[in-house]
Structure 1
Amino acid sequence: MDGKALRLARLIKPSCKKTCIVPIDHGVTLGPITGLGDYRKLIGQIISGGADGIVLHKGILTRLCKDEIFLDGNYILHLSASTKFNNDSHCKVLVGSVEEAVQLGAEAVSIHVNLGDTDESSMLKDFGKVSESCVRWGMPLLAMVYAKRNQRKPGDIAHTARLAEELGADIVKVECPETMEEISELVKNVQIPVLIAGGENMNNPEKLLNMVNNSILAGAAGVAIGRNIFEYNNPGLLIKLISMIIHEGKGLDECIEILKEDCKYSN
C-alpha cells in the first residue's frame, strides 16, 4: 500500500468499505452557529461516537495538533471557503494547500465545487491544481460537488459524482437524491466511494437515520453529515447510531428505539 491507500484505509474501513464523516467547517461560511461554539467538546463527542473522519479548517486543526485527547481522530483539511456576506456565496476559493495538510497530519483534504455558478471555471481550475498536488503527496481527495440549478434535472447529481472521479477525487460527497433508485444508479456510474450529504438541519433525527439507512441500502459508501449532527443535543449518540447502521448493519427500527429511549431520559 502507498501513502494514499494507507490514509484512505483510516477513513474508509477496509472490512466494510464504508465511512461516516462529520464536516464541522461551517464556521467560516456561517459563523459560530449552534453546536460549533465549543468545538473542542464537539470534536470529543464526534470521536467518542465513532466517526471515521472530521472535516475542518486549518486554524482548528492547528490547535488540535497540540491536544493529546484528539489523537484518536482522523482529520480532513478543508481547502475551500466562502462566506454568507458574499453576494455569490456559492463561489469557493482555496484557503489552504495539500502541503499544509501534510504538515498538520491530516488524513485527507477536501474541496467544494458548485457547478453552474458563474465562477465554475475557477473552481474547476482549483480542483485540477489540488488533485495534482494530492497525487504528488499521496493525499486522498474528498470532493464535495453540487449542481446549482433553479430546477434540478434528472442526472444532475450523477453528473457531479462522475465529474469528481474524472478530475481525480478519491471520494465524492453529493446531495441526497430523492429516491433510493437514483442513489443506486449514480453509484453504478462511478468507481469511487459516494457519500451522501446530510444537507440543512432536518430537526428530525428519526428522518435522518432513515435517510442514512436508505443510502446504505442503495449502495452508497457512507454519509457526510454536519449540521444534523452537531446541532443535535447529543451528537455523540447520533453518530454512534449512524455508525451502527453503516458499519454494523444494525436495523433502522433498533436504532430509532435507542434514540427514543435517550430522548425520554433527557427530557
Structure 2
Amino acid sequence: MSVTARLNRMFAQDGKCFDVAIDHGFFNEFSFLSGIENMKHAIDTVIQANPDCVQLGVGQARQYQQIPGKAKPGLVLRTDAANIYGKELPRHLFSELVDQAIWHAVRLDAVAVCVNLLLLPGQPELHHQCVANISRLKTECEQYGMPLMVEPLVMLPNEVSGGYMVDGDIRKIMALVRQGVELGADIIKSDPCDEVSEYHRVIEVASGVPVLVRGGGRASDEEIMNRTYELMKQGASGIVYGRNVIQHPNPAGMTAALMSIVHKDAAAEQALAILKGEQENG
C-alpha cells in the first residue's frame, strides 16, 4: 500500500512542509510544558495559524481530531516516549514505542508517524532499542501506507552540556541520517549542523528522502528566521519547530512568519516584518 496519498496531505504542492511539534508533554519534563499547559488553547492557536501539520502524542491527538472541520493541519503522530531529555540522565534509559502505534495512527487519521533514532555517548543499548523500534514500525507502516518520519538525534554528553543539547557535528549527523534512510524513513527530521552553510551535505546523504529540520531549544526571533532561511536555501524540504513556536509570545505570528520562509522563499527580514505586523495587529 503506497504512502503517497498521506504524503500528499503532509506536503504542500510546492513539496514543502511546516510541522508544528506540540508533543513535548510525552517526555515527562516540566520545562517542556511551557506554552502548552492549556493544551486546548495551544491546539486552537496552532490550528488558526494554519501550518501544514501538527505533531502530537496519542492522547492529545484524540482531542485534536474531535475538533470539527476539514481544513485542519495534518496530524503527525509521535509513536515513542523517551526519558533522555533531563539535566541528569536516569539510571535506566529508554525510548518505548506506543503499543500498536500504526493502528492508532490509522484510527486517528494521521498523515505520518514520528519515531526517534537516538545517539547518546556511551549508550549503545538505547541506540539499539531505537533501531529495533524503527524496524518494527517500518513493516507496519508499509502494510497500512503510513509514512515513517525518523528523527535522528545526536546528543552531547550530559556532563558537558547539562541535558538535551544536540551535537552539531555534521559527520555524526550525516551518518545517523543515512542510517535512518537505510532503515526505511520516508521523511527525515534532523538537527541543523554547527555550520548551517554545510547542510546541503545532510540533504545529499538523505538520498532523495525529504529532510525537515528540527528547531530545538528557544532562540531569538532573528536567529530563528536567519537560520530557517539558510536551511531552506540549502535544500531542506521544511521544518519541524516546537518550542520556538509554542513558547513564543505570539505563536500564530511566528507560524505565519515561518510559513512565509518555507513556502514563499521570504528572506529573514521579510519574515521578521510579518512577525512584527502580526504582533502589532494582535
**Paired residues of 2:212 and 2:236 also in contact (CA < 8 A):** yes
- CA separation of 1:89/1:227 partners in 2, compared to 1, >3 Å: closer, same or farther? farther
Match of 1:34 in 2: 34
Match of 1:182 in 2: 198
Matched, 1:120 2:127: yes
Q: 1:198 aligns with which of 207, 215, 222?
A: 215
- CA separation of 1:185/1:227 partners in 2, compared to 1, >3 Å: closer, same or farther? same
**Paired residues of 1:58 and 1:78 also in contact (CA < 8 A):** yes
Q: Distance in 1 between matches of 2:146 and 2:204?
A: 25
**Paired residues of 2:168 and 2:194 also in contact (CA < 8 A):** no
User: C-alpha displacement at 1:69, in angstroms?
Assistant: 5.0
SS of the residue 1:75 aligns to:
strand
SS of the residue 2:47 aligns to:
helix
Q: For 1:80-95, what aligned pairs fall within 5 Å after superposition? A: 80-83=80-83, 84=86, 87=90, 91-95=94-98
Deviations 1:136-185 (A, max 9, x none): 11000111111234476441111121111100111011111122332111
**Paired residues of 1:165 and 1:192 also in contact (CA < 8 A):** yes
Q: Distance in 1 between matches of 2:256 and 2:127?
A: 37
Query: Which stretch shows the higher mean deviation, 224-233 or 88-97?
Result: 88-97
SS of the residue 1:20 aligns to:
strand
Match of 1:10 in 2: 9
Q: Structure 1 counterpart of 2:273, which letter?
A: E
Alignment TM-score, normalising by the size of structure 2? 0.86
Q: Distance in 2 between matches of 1:252 and 1:200?
A: 19
Deviations 1:63-90 (A, max 9, x none): 2222215851210111110244860686
SS of the residue 2:55 aligns to:
strand
User: C-alpha displacement at 1:57, in angstroms?
Assistant: 0.6
Alignment TM-score, normalising by the size of structure 1? 0.90
Q: Distance in 2 between matches of 1:60 and 1:132?
A: 25
User: C-alpha displacement at 1:26, in angstroms?
Assistant: 0.6
Q: How many residues align?
A: 263
User: C-alpha displacement at 1:131, in angstroms?
Assistant: 0.9
Q: Distance in 2 between matches of 1:21 and 1:237?
A: 15
Match of 1:157 in 2: 173
Match of 1:110 in 2: 114
Deviations 1:72-114 (A, max 9, x none): 1210111110244860686311124111110111111110121
**Paired residues of 2:214 and 2:241 also in contact (CA < 8 A):** yes
SS of the residue 1:68 aligns to:
coil
**Paired residues of 1:82 and 1:93 also in contact (CA < 8 A):** yes
Query: Which stretch shows the higher mean deviation, 29-38 or 63-72?
Result: 63-72
User: C-alpha displacement at 1:45, in angstroms?
Assistant: 2.0
Q: Structure 2 counterpart of 1:133, which letter?
A: E
Match of 1:76 in 2: 76
SS of the residue 1:35 aligns to:
coil
Q: Structure 1 counterpart of 2:203, which letter?
A: V
User: C-alpha displacement at 1:50, in angstroms?
Assistant: 2.6
**Paired residues of 1:142 and 1:172 also in contact (CA < 8 A):** yes
Q: Distance in 1 between matches of 2:115 and 2:135?
A: 11
**Paired residues of 1:64 and 1:70 also in contact (CA < 8 A):** no
Q: Distance in 2 between matches of 1:260 and 1:90?
A: 42
Q: Distance in 1 between matches of 2:144 and 2:138?
A: 10
Query: Which stretch shows the higher mean deviation, 223-232 or 22-31?
Result: 22-31
Match of 2:146 in 1: 139
**Paired residues of 2:119 and 2:127 also in contact (CA < 8 A):** yes
Query: Which stretch shows the higher mean deviation, 89-98 or 55-64?
Result: 89-98
Q: Structure 2 counterpart of 1:94, which letter?
A: L
- CA separation of 1:242/1:162 partners in 2, compared to 1, >3 Å: closer, same or farther? same
Q: Distance in 2 between matches of 1:72 and 1:60?
A: 15
Match of 2:267 in 1: 251
SS of the residue 2:33 aligns to:
coil
Q: Distance in 2 between matches of 1:218 and 1:232?
A: 26
